[in-house]
Every structure is written in structure tokens, then in C-alpha cells.
Chain A
Amino acid sequence: MSNWVPELLSPAGNFEKCKTAVLYGANAVYLAGLKFGLREASDNFTSLELKEAVEFCHQRNVLVYVVLNGFLHDSDLQELPSFLQEIEVLKVDAVIVSDLGVIEKVKEFTSIPIHLSTQASCLNAYSAMFWKNMGVTRVVLGRETSIQEAKSIKEATGLEVEMFIHGAMCMSYSGHCVISNYTQGRDSNRGGCAHSCRFEYSLHADADKLKNEAAKKSFFMSSKDLSGLRALEEFIKAGIDSLKVEGRNKSEHYAGTVTKVYAEALAFYRKHGHFLSDALMTWERELKKIPHRDYTDASLISPASDASIYHDREHEQSDTVVCGQVLETNQDRIYLSVKSAFSPGDKLEIIPIAGPNFTMIVDEIFDMALQKVERTKPGTLVSIKKMSNVEKFSLVRKSL
């Protein structure tokens, strides 16, 4: 018997991350062209890369959603139609939009399905109905919405409902923060968010005392990261159509690990109809191995409490560091693109595309001129002895 599970939607900040997410088990990816999205700092996709990415994904039955969720100005809208026609030819599966003007353009120039971005802060069934009337087929709900509320919204509107299950969170209602705009001249709603919520602030009831010792120092606006692993069964029972992983700006390590964990968990449920497994502990341990800021279930079950605030400087905790990604293999060796240094004798953990992770002690390391290497350097390619069947694009890391 096969049980229904939601779509797993992973971030694809660039083509490499896209491949990683797809190979590690995403059912769909979201990505952006060079404009119109909210992650200007991400590499994003040129036209050629978009074409290749769509081919790559569709060959593997993975859907591609193109993000157009900036609050666009008139000048941006003038440039939009040519891009829309370009992605319609590529047969992308949906666009993710937050602005009513953009929705109008999408409808005018294409027949691509429209998903409403979380940036529009759709929080209730009436709001979802409004957006349905505007032509959207799916709503990505605001992260303040609980799973039970999402269920009600889906039942009331008949719309597909998507919720975030993992990743960093805006502390504000999405789309309702313009700190960067006024303090740094960067439009947070057109891809320029400066992450002002992650800064340390001095707090005092008297503005004149902010600089003295009486002021409390606090990271009061910084949110912990969302993890909905323990709420997976709730999502499934509520019939949430798509589970989204945040993080187009994050690394291949993040995209691969998070995707693999949730894909394995959903596959387990599909087969068994429950999550009663020791594997749950393994999945949780895996999620702690990637950089993160402490996890919270935020508002998935009940409104986010004090415990959802990350009272610490912006640094992402991790038990491991990614050493590299396998770019090539042959009978004897694997070729690693090095991201963090390692040496002979180090214990590396391989994250295979499928199946459990395994470790290996590094023997000799060679550079691309076949010279022995005592310690690798990031930004180089090295070869190490092949210990088991390792596929291309597998990630390799070590414990700290």
C-alpha cells in the first residue's frame, strides 16, 4: 500500500544547487532568473541555465517553479513580458508571484499556473479566496499560519496550499519589513534584504540611555530556523499539497542534506503510513549537521512563542563542515571539488545520493598534476581513493 505524501519543494539558488536538490530527492524546485526575485545575492539562473535546468528537472519528473516574487515597479514590469515568454517556451510548471501587477502580466502573456508567494502574507481563507479570484492556483501561506489553519484554508477555497517546512524565517510578516530600504538604501522587497533583523540592538525605554550601560543588548528580532520534521504527520493529515524548504542563498550541502532528510522521511511514510522509526532520530541528527540557528516549530502548531527567538549573534551552528562535492569518479578514484581543507588520515563522511551515509579514512590525496597533497585547499580539485560506490554530485563532509 502506498500512502499519499505532499510534494517536497527544494530551493535551487543556482544550477549546481538545483542538481543537488533534484538528485537528493526533491519533487519540485524553485529558482529565479537574474531579475524579479527576492534573492539578488543568490547566483540565480541565466537564460541558458534556466533552459538546462528545466530539461534536467523534467527528465527526472521534477517540477520547476520560477520565482517572480519581488514587488516590482513599473519599469520592472516593462521588462517582464519578454522573460515570461521565454519561460513559457521552456514549459516551466508555475511561477511564484506576490504582486498583483505581476499576476496581471503573467495572465496577459502566458498560461503558466500562478502560485502566490508567501511574500503576500496570505493568512486566511478570505485572503486566499481573493487571490484565487485574481487567478492564482496555489497559495504559499504566511509562516504565521498553523497547519490546522492551512487545512481550513484549503477546504474553504479548494486551492492548493503550500507551507514552509524548513529553513530561515523572516521575523516580520513577509513583505512587511522595509528596514533595509530606509537604513541601507536596499529594497528588501526587491531582493536587497540586508538581514537587519539579525543585528544586535541596544534596547532602552529612554532613547537617551541607549548608549550607556543601562541599555540591554539583544538580538531580539532574530528568529530561530524552522524545522517541521516532527510535524510531518500533521502536514500529511491536513492534506498540505507542498512542503517548501527555504534557502536559495544557502549551500549545496544545505540543499542536499535537507532535501535528502525530508525525502527519506516522506518515502518512509509513503511505505509505512507512520513515522514510528528510529530513523527519525537519524534525520534529526542530520539536520543538526548543517549550518543552522537552533530550530523551532514556529507557528506550525500554535503561535510562535518566546522560544522562537534566536538570542544570539548571526552565526549558524553546525557539527560538521562540508569538505567538497564529488565532480567525477572512475574505477579507482573520486574527484572532489574542495570547499574546506582536509588531510590524509581525516575521517570523511560521504552523503550518497541514495542510501545511508558512510565514513572513510582518507588515504593519499593527489592534486591534478598527480602530486601528493598534505592538506587540501578550498577552490581546488583533488582525487582520493574510491572506497565504495559514490555517485557524481555526492557531498562529502567531516565532523568538527
Chain B
Amino acid sequence: MKKISYVRNVIECELLNHLGFEELIVGHRDFSRFSDLDDAEFDSIVQYALKHNISLVFEWDALCEETKLRKLVEKFKAFPSFAFNKVRVLDMGVMQFIKDHYSWLKLQVILENGHHNSLGPVKLSNYLGGQLDRLILSNECSVEMIESIHREIKLHVPHEVELEILAFGPLLLFYSARHLLAPQKLQDYQSDRFIQYYASSEESPHTGFPLMENQHGTFMFNVKDICLFKVLQDEKLRVSNIIQAIRFDFRHLASKSEKENEFKMIAISLLESFTRGLDYQSADRQTISGFFKTNKTSSLFKKLKNQRTLRFDENYLGEVVDVVREKNITILIKNKLNVTLKSKLILVTPEGKRKEVSVTKLHLLNQLHINENQNELQVKELNKDQLYQMSYLSGVVFKTQIYLQN
């Protein structure tokens, strides 16, 4: 598996190349969500990489509204064509622009949101053809999902497509185009281009979500970083053939202005942990393995819904809209059905109690004042959206669902 990381200056470029990172990602503040490199800084890295034959990937992962995209397209056109031969993109519009105008540039497409099935990645791979170099998969993909994506690409795509995951780094939870921190008038606010804060939610036991704001908007990260070193070791046989590239992102652990030695120590320590199959230990940041082993994000929510208040079968008749104790029940008919005297009704309350009753009295509410004593019901098709009354039945409450028994 190729090891991939980010570089922010020539020193990092030299070091990571020396440590065996096969591919380095470089951003530019205008194009990349988390890069603050200006033209000169960017250019110095490009020149160094060219000189030392380092594989450099240009990161264009900011989402772009039409106006922003037009500006960036002009700037992109001004880059020297030899600067890089691969571009990482998140916005499908940026991807289409590169496909339309730069067919010689390889594409690495970031599928960090969605694409949790194999069908989409297969379609995208075939659409981009040989121009597609790699798909960067979501942190929410479990190993089973990745296996499925890999298998289907092998079966249905006639060219090689690499799959990449984030092996270590911050988990991006939220990406907004709006500037949310600057307006807070925080006491210690400084008008840096990059504002960094921490947030704790009143509703979550977790504290200290890192926040960042820059010209692209506002970002929130998880309180824990993802670290897959141990699970990648445990699943070595399973993943060695399906994942071709793993990404290390430790920019948040050492700012680019910090001493070279500090960055170097973290890089070496991370690589050692990875090689030994141990999760990286840091005094500042805890780690999780995310959803790599299994993704159960929808199991909890389904339990919150009261299935008993939903209507399910062809024999559904309607819903109780009123109950007067010891007197009557009013039902709103929601389905055209033939109800006869002695038809059996099944009533299911919101609490799940089930009652069966034979129809002995049922009349249109509109006739309440007209024919109060009506107590017989002939064979009759009940009309939808009309209110009927029947005799009181204990235990039946508002929102009880009514079905006709076969």
C-alpha cells in the first residue's frame, strides 16, 4: 500500500520523501480547504518536487459555487502544465472541468460523503475511464463496503482504479460555506486567515470539537482522530489487495511554523506505530477506528419510530380521531372498503394494544343531528375522508389505527 501525506513546505516535502511516502499532496489556499499556501509557497514546493522527482498531487477539494469556480478556473489555467500530473477533487463540477479540459491530468476523486455502495463508484470509474487514478473512500466505509466496491470495480471496470482510505488523521464532521466563528466576537479572536477554536455541545458528552474557519468557510472535526493502524494490521490479509493507498494526515499535530524536529518526530513516530500495527498514542488527541469494522449508523434511529401508528395493508380502514368515554368513537375513513354489519374490525392502539370488535353500529357523523338513533348498517362502501361513529370501546384512544379483518 502506498503511503500518502500532505506537505506545506519544502522541508516537509524532503522529510516525507525521505521517510518513504510515495505520494505527497499539496494544496493552495484558493483551491484547498485546509491549505494556507500562497502562490510563492506553493511554487517553491512544486519546484522542489520537480527537481527531486517527487510525485506531487494537486489538491482542489474546495466546493465551488459557479462564481467561485469561474475565478478558480482562470487561476488554474495559469499554473504551469508541468507542475503536477494528478489532481484530487471533491466537487463533481471540478472533476468535470478537469475531464473536459485537461485529459492528460489524472484524477483522484474524493468520495468522502456518500458513495457507500459499489454501484456509484463503478459508474464513476467507467465514466472517467483511464483518466481516473484513484477513489478516496469515505471514513464511514466499513471494510465490507470497501471489499464490495473493490470487487465490483474489478468485475465491471476495464482499467485499474486505486482505492484510498484515511489511516490516520482528523475526521471532518461539518463543512459550511458560511463564516460562523468570526461573527461570534470571541474575546481572544484574532483576524487571522485561519481561525481555530474548540467547541463543546450541551447535548454531547464529548468536549472539544476542533473548529476552523478560513476563506472557504467553517469546518468542525471530531474530538478524536481516526487511527486504523491496529485494524489494518488485524485485517492485513483482507485489506492488502483491496486498498492501494493509505493517507496520513497529521498537519493538526504540528503546525508548519513549528520546528522541523517536531514534525519529524511525529512523522517517524506515526510510521513506527503503523509498522508495528499499534494505534498512535498522543498526549493531546485520542483516536477511534471509526466505522471501519462495521457501520451501524442507522440501527438506533429506526427504534425511535412508532411503527404502530403507520398503516400497512390493504385492509386498512382509518384512524380514530375522537373518543368520548362510554359514548362513542369517531373514526376518519382513509380507505374505501366495504363494511357490513358484523364485519370484524381490528384496532391497534399507539401503545400496541390490539382489540377486535364486530360492527354493530356505524353511522356518518354528518347524520349525527339528523339520525341519532340509527343503529343498523347495511352493506356499505365507506367513503374516504368522511367521519363515522361507532360504539365506545374501552382502551381505544386517539390515533388508534383500524383494520378490517379478512
Contact = CB atoms under 8 A, between A and B. Distances in A.
A125 B93 contact: yes
Interface string B322-352: 1110011010101100000000000000000
Contacts of A196: 201, 203-204
A178 B140 contact: yes
Contact of A203 (B197, B332, B365): B197
Contacts of A160: none
Contacts of A52: 334-335, 384
B97, B178, B186, B335 pick with most chain A CB within 10 angstroms? B178
Contacts of A102: 120
A104 B176 contact: no
Interface in B178-213: 178-184, 186-188, 196-204, 206-211
Contacts of A46: 310-312
A126 interface: yes
B173 A182 contact: yes
A328 B387 contact: yes
Contacts of B173: 177-179, 182
Nearest to B327: A369
A206 B133 CA distance: 41
Interface in A196-218: 196-197, 199-207, 210-211, 214-216, 218
Contacts of A332: 369
A381 B92 CA distance: 52
Contact of A172 (B174, B203, B312): B174
B91 A309 contact: no
B147 to A, nearest CB: 10
Contacts of B211: 203
B113 A71 contact: yes
B179 A306 contact: yes
B178 A205 contact: no
B381 interface: no
Q: Which of A15, A177, A299, A332 has its CB near the most chain B CB atoms (within 10 A)?
A: A177
Interface stretch (B8-16, B42-50, B65-73, B354-362): B65-73
Contacts of A175: 113-114
Interface in B354-382: 365-366, 368-369
Chain A interface size, under 10 / 10 to 19 / 20 to 34 / 35 or more: 35 or more
A145 B66 contact: yes
Interface size class of B (residues with CB under 8 A): 35 or more
Nearest to B385: A392
B65 A187 contact: no
B258 interface: no
A189 interface: yes
Contact of A176 (B123, B174, B316): B174
A190 B298 contact: yes
B11 to A, nearest CB: 27
Interface string B117-159: 1111101100100000000000010000100100000000000
Contacts of A330: 366, 369
B51 interface: no
Contact of A100 (B124, B182, B297, B328): B124
A218 B222 CA distance: 19
A206 B197 CA distance: 7
B327 A104 contact: no
A78 to B, nearest CB: 10
B220 interface: yes
A390 B151 CA distance: 62
Interface in A128-174: 128-131, 133-134, 142, 144-146, 149, 152-153, 171-173
A185 B120 CA distance: 24
A100 B330 CA distance: 47
A6 interface: no
Interface in A49-103: 49, 52, 71-74, 76-77, 98-103
B299 interface: yes
Interface stretch (B24-32, B228-236, B237-245, B301-309): B301-309
Contacts of B291: 181
A337 B387 CA distance: 11
Interface string A223-244: 1000000000000000000000
Given A49-B311, A368-B327, A104 B123 contact: yes
Interface of A: 15, 34, 40-41, 43, 46, 48-49, 52, 71-74, 76-77, 98-105, 120-131, 133-134, 142, 144-146, 149, 152-153, 171-173, 175-179, 181-187, 189-192, 196-197, 199-207, 210-211, 214-216, 218, 220-221, 223, 299, 303-304, 306, 308-309, 327-328, 330, 332-333, 335, 337, 367-371, 379-381, 392
18 contacts: A40-B301, A40-B305, A77-B117, A100-B120, A101-B115, A127-B92, A178-B174, A187-B301, A199-B202, A205-B188, A210-B199, A210-B208, A220-B181, A221-B220, A223-B178, A368-B327, A369-B328, A380-B322
List of 10 A-B pairs having minimum Cβ-Cβ separation, nearest first: A127-B93, A100-B120, A101-B119, A71-B114, A381-B322, A126-B93, A187-B297, A306-B183, A101-B120, A149-B66
